[in-house]
Chains A and B, each alone.
Chain A
């Protein structure tokens, strides 16, 4: 069985401007989404409190909202409510701004929901605004450092002009994934950050395999001009790219479908990221390197 028959020559490089257009539109959409509706920070970055409780029986979101709204408990009355998982279990995420004390929140909840059953606390989190800000700075620094490290690594292992293409492709992947997650109503959380960093690792993986083949083909004695050499290299590695991406997609999807709510942000960002990352490894990274080489020709390749 062969996914991509040998000798296949899709004209990826020839269609690069169409691919750039698609990528450009997606990046533009992502940027718009980040401004409006806008990235919402998770509780760990923004500061605030959230708790996950389970009533153990079906409870309607509206009933809970009404009970909390009418409770007169200052912390709970304005809290945000979201149902999680199987509705029969009555699991809710309740959250609000500011710092909170776990026991007083639980007591207030018990007092205000007498008719709804006994809530059991599954998780509680309260983060001060300053800690959240520090964590966010660390997160952004982690992303920036990951880009810098990969730029440096590619520059060392390959002709250094390959680096910008690889890193721009990565930024492209991260932006589109983040934009889509925002459009899907997900917040920027630590698990999402973990997903983005993993995506950076894997997308670099794909790009490096293509670059490696270009590097190898460049060493041949009789070599075609760069554009067609790149196209051949992308096609030669296409089968591997698709199989590997498929395998990671399967792993990410099974985390998404079976891993439960705690893993959802990580799994969803990876699912999107694998698809976008595969696209950019095939259509963006090499093509950008070609554009750079055409505009500012290097002496040796």
Chain B
């Protein structure tokens, strides 16, 4: 590689490779091209091609609370088996369970039951029998659940976006609990709203139609809220139950009214109330027991079906074996009660359970459009989010702005380039022309590297390239100034070139490493388009070092080696200028 010919070959190979990698980006290539050569293209960032950039936050505490709820349910089962039926078990905050036993001392062995049933909890208060006990989820377990919730949200969203069909989506994690979605070509966040905004958490709950808690809800109703009565025929009983419920055209009004009016053992859920066709949508309440009997976790298949009598869309789903058995047990226990089927806290239907349901099939009915049913089926298949996600930041760029930006960015870069290279030619003569070739070569290498690594070019990235060119010029200026100095102290041209390149190496490397440090820090901390700037700047630094010390040097050596030439004009009053 020390020989001139060897170096020339290396540079030629590098430049040919660069051209191979660049061609598909700039001209349409025939189909056979991609079979023979790499199919690399410079990918444009969302700010240049247009698209939607969404930052979502995963509400990780919900996953912790859900785990604590499930643990509380496990504990209730264990207590019932141990004959401790009068003990109440409730979640406190997100990560604790309160266990309250009656004061008559029936709580013997309570601690042991808790420790056995809840291995990832520690008992934090309550020493004497009769007092309430508090068990807290260990921080390590909570951290594991949070982490798992984010990973699961990432995988689930990826699945949903893929099934929905967006071209080249990017779904990335950012920091502890955020997810960044990049959806090229999309303009309106509403298009994917349902896919990301729906947790698709399917829950089954026990409707309490005979509770004394119902009565206080009905007194002194605010305007816009009315009372109606269900008619629930219970098997083995002659008269149907007629539990009251509230109706309004505004679900928030219902929520505000019931807030704080039921103890934590119960919950008021909202569902839709069939109204007159074409009229306003109406909403109603259901009083349910808080404990979630089951979730949609065991769902293995979901598809859209139709109600035979009405033709309304329903989502039919199947459980896996273990969940099917659990579902059978639960329905067995619930005989004579209604079971609320809710999706994300909205009750879809509340059928009366008149027998043990085996076979592991169920369906969600209730006031769905075909599109809604299709999306819900996708989401039940890909799984519920363990914690809901909410958009915390969004950016959308229209395709026109992107096109404008490309045009302007390229124009600005070229204009700067022409002025700078023109100056180099005038100021450094032939050597300046070498530098101009080197700068153009370094531009080609940087673009080729972007294509080869599949990096994304953003508008700040174009700015990074423009600035890189300034640095490529700087490297050549440092070398040429040094050569001029060496010529001035009377060295031969060859010796001056050798000394110039040698002595300029150290400041150029030092200076570029410093720039590289700043670029890497920017990459690490920057988000979105600014990262693209850091990428082009970093690649540019490396390209600059290569072209200045290999390419420009080669041009000098070739010029000096070809004929019996003694020098190359470099301006500045030196000999050969």
Contacts and interface: CB of A to CB of B under 8 A. Distances in A.
Interface of A: 1-3, 6, 44, 52, 54, 101-103, 120-128, 130-132, 134-135, 138-139, 141-142, 145-146, 149-150, 153-154, 157, 190-191, 193-194, 197-198, 200-202, 204-206, 208-209, 212-213, 216, 236-237, 239-240, 243-244, 246-248, 250-255, 257-260, 262-263, 266-267, 270
A157 B470 CA distance: 24
Which 4 A-B pairs rank lowest in CB-CB distance, beginning with the nearest?
A201-B515, A254-B416, A142-B525, A212-B507
Nearest to A266: B463
Which secondary structure dominates chain B's binding surface? Answer: helix
Given A6-B488, A122-B400, A260-B404, A128 B507 contact: no
A124 B47 contact: no
Given A142-B524, A153-B510, A244-B470, 19 more contacts: A120-B400, A121-B398, A124-B395, A131-B393, A146-B522, A149-B521, A193-B526, A194-B530, A197-B521, A204-B511, A205-B474, A208-B510, A240-B477, A250-B419, A254-B415, A255-B463, A262-B401, A263-B412, A263-B459
Contacts of A54: 400
B114 to A, nearest CB: 37
A206 B408 CA distance: 29
A52 B423 CA distance: 38
A246 B474 CA distance: 10
A257 B408 CA distance: 10
A44 B527 CA distance: 11
B481 interface: yes
B518 interface: yes
Which secondary structure dominates chain A's binding surface? Answer: helix
Given A122-B401, A142-B526, A254-B412, A6 B396 contact: no
Contacts of B415: 254, 258
B521 A236 contact: no
Nearest to A260: B408
Given A6-B488, A248-B470, A262 B394 contact: no
A150 B514 CA distance: 6
A139 B518 CA distance: 13
A240 B474 CA distance: 8
Contacts of B178: 131
B517 A6 contact: no
B412 A194 contact: no
A102 B396 contact: yes
A120 B519 CA distance: 36
Nearest to B415: A254
A125 B189 CA distance: 11
A239 B482 CA distance: 11
Nearest to A237: B481
Contacts of B187: 121
B401 A52 contact: yes
B469 A251 contact: yes
B485 interface: yes
A266 B469 CA distance: 16
B55 A131 contact: yes
Contacts of A3: 427
B190 interface: yes
B513 to A, nearest CB: 7
Given A124-B395, A209-B478, A212-B507, A204 B412 contact: no
B405 interface: yes
B427 A243 contact: yes
Given A131-B55, A191-B460, A263-B463, A208 B514 contact: yes
Contact of A1 (B188, B409, B571): B571
Contacts of A190: 526-530
Nearest to B573: A2
B397 A122 contact: yes
A142 B521 contact: yes
Contacts of A216: 503
Given A194-B522, A260-B408, A266-B460, A254 B466 contact: yes
B463 A201 contact: no
Nearest to B53: A125
B141 interface: no
Given A194-B460, A251-B469, A259 B530 contact: no
A49 B320 CA distance: 45
15 contacts: A121-B187, A122-B400, A123-B398, A127-B393, A142-B522, A190-B527, A201-B537, A202-B515, A212-B510, A239-B481, A243-B427, A243-B477, A252-B467, A260-B409, A266-B463
B518 A146 contact: yes
Nearest to B472: A247
B304 to A, nearest CB: 26
B219 to A, nearest CB: 34
Given A194-B460, A204-B514, A260-B405, A131 B412 contact: no
A209 B507 contact: yes
B130 interface: no
B392 A130 contact: yes
Contact of A209 (B397, B416, B426, B511): B511
B411 interface: yes
B514 A125 contact: no
